[in-house]
Amino acid sequence: MRYLTRRLVHAMLLLLAISFLSFALLQWAPGNFFDDMRLNPRISAQTVDGLRVEYGMNRPFAVRYARWAYSVLKGNMGFSFSYNSPVAPLLWARARNTLLLTSMATLLAWLFAIPLGIWSAVDKGKWFDLACGFSTSALLTIPDLLLFLVLLLLAVRTGWFPTGGMVSTGFDHLSLWGKIKDVANHFALPTVGLAVVTLPVLVRHIRSAMIEALESPFIRAARGHGIPHRRLLFRYALPAAANPLISLLGFSVATMVSASVIVEVVMSWPGLGPLMIQAILSRDVNIVIGVVMLSSVFLVAGNLLADVLLFVSDPRIRVE
């Protein structure tokens, strides 16, 4: 219990530190939101300067940080220059879409990775293991971006899947069931793509951990005892192999907000990814910080989860 409270306090402090450092980093990069306007020959420099003053961009760093922190407490999370509205409502809508995508993809990936990894480890050196090893290596070498583009190409050429977005043009006129089917149709491809991309690393780690567990002395002893193979696998080897896998699970949760950036951009899925990239390129500072904070919350939560699970599952750690 003490451990948990200690970690929670740390988590809070960490989030504070992240917000401060991110804010500082964002000021360091040259350029600001109004650069685009500055290059327009029809708008004078005075107008642009006036706008900068109005949005408080000329105030000192500490003041701007304090104002932003206050805005977070009020629930607005700062003000976006691009959208002319508080950041919070923009974030929630997009975050919901992103989380839908990543949670489904993570589930799918783990669902396939566990049996594949275990089977590879058990059948080490045989054809299944080699085939699996080859395909995971192949998938790992292909850049994510390329894979998503190829999937998109597939969608275009075959017409089996929609080529982007979350809903079709006539969405409003659909029944409830029609709406659900429409959204599911649209997110099939991005989800599968994301799952395929996260799969190889998981499989390799699971396989590696299982192999180590299976070759350790106590398993050999248990085998010698005559314990049936399946029980050996799931009740003895798997828990022993759990240690690195738990860290990986924590990592999966931690990256739940940030992992889908590329797939969202390629497939026009309206999540946090495109929002973030556009905000970075146009220097809309408050949106960037908002997204960073949200993904930090997940990061911290994921790591916390992993540490707690490790603590609970591996008795060897508790002896301290």
Residue 222 as a binder of another protein (CB under 8 A): the answer is: no
Residue 122 as a binder of another protein (CB under 8 A): the answer is: no
Nearest approach in angstroms of CB 210 to another protein is 12
Nearest approach in angstroms of CB 233 to another protein is 19
Sign of the Cα torsion 50, 55, 57, 59 reads positive
Nearest approach in angstroms of CB 265 to another protein is 6
Nearest residue to 238 (alpha-carbon basis) of 313, 304, 302, 312: 313
Report the residue number, 100 or 306, with the smaller CB distance to another protein. 306
Residue 127 as a binder of another protein (CB under 8 A): the answer is: no
Stretch 27-46 residues interacting with another protein (CB under 8 A): 28-32, 35-45
Q: Give the CA-trace dihedral at 53, 55, 57, 58, to 10 degrees.
A: 30
Residue 215 as a binder of another protein (CB under 8 A): the answer is: yes
* Beta-carbon contacts of residue 282 (< 8 Å; ≥ 6 apart): 33, 36, 82
Stretch 239-298 residues interacting with another protein (CB under 8 A): 243-244, 246-247, 250-251, 254, 265-268, 270, 274-275, 278, 280-283, 288, 292, 295-296
Which range of residues in 21-29, 62-70, 115-123, 228-236 is near another protein by CB under 8 A?
21-29
Residue 186 as a binder of another protein (CB under 8 A): the answer is: no
> Radius of gyration (Cα) for the chain, nearest Å?
24
Calpha distance 37→116 (Å, rounded): 53
Nearest approach in angstroms of CB 226 to another protein is 25
Report the residue number, 5 or 169, with the smaller CB distance to another protein. 169
Residue among 4, 8, 111, 153 that touches another protein (CB under 8 A): 153
Calpha distance 200→168 (Å, rounded): 32
Distance, first Cα to last Cα, the chain:
15
Residue 188 as a binder of another protein (CB under 8 A): the answer is: no
Stretch 63-92 residues interacting with another protein (CB under 8 A): 82-85, 89-90
Nearest residue to 178 (alpha-carbon basis) of 167, 163, 193: 167
Q: Which helix (H) or strand (E) holds 86?
A: strand 85-86
Residue 85 has φ and ψ, to the nearest 5°, of -155, 165
Which range of residues in 48-56, 70-78, 102-110, 218-226 is near another protein by CB under 8 A?
48-56
* Cβ proximity of 276 and 82 under 8 Å: no
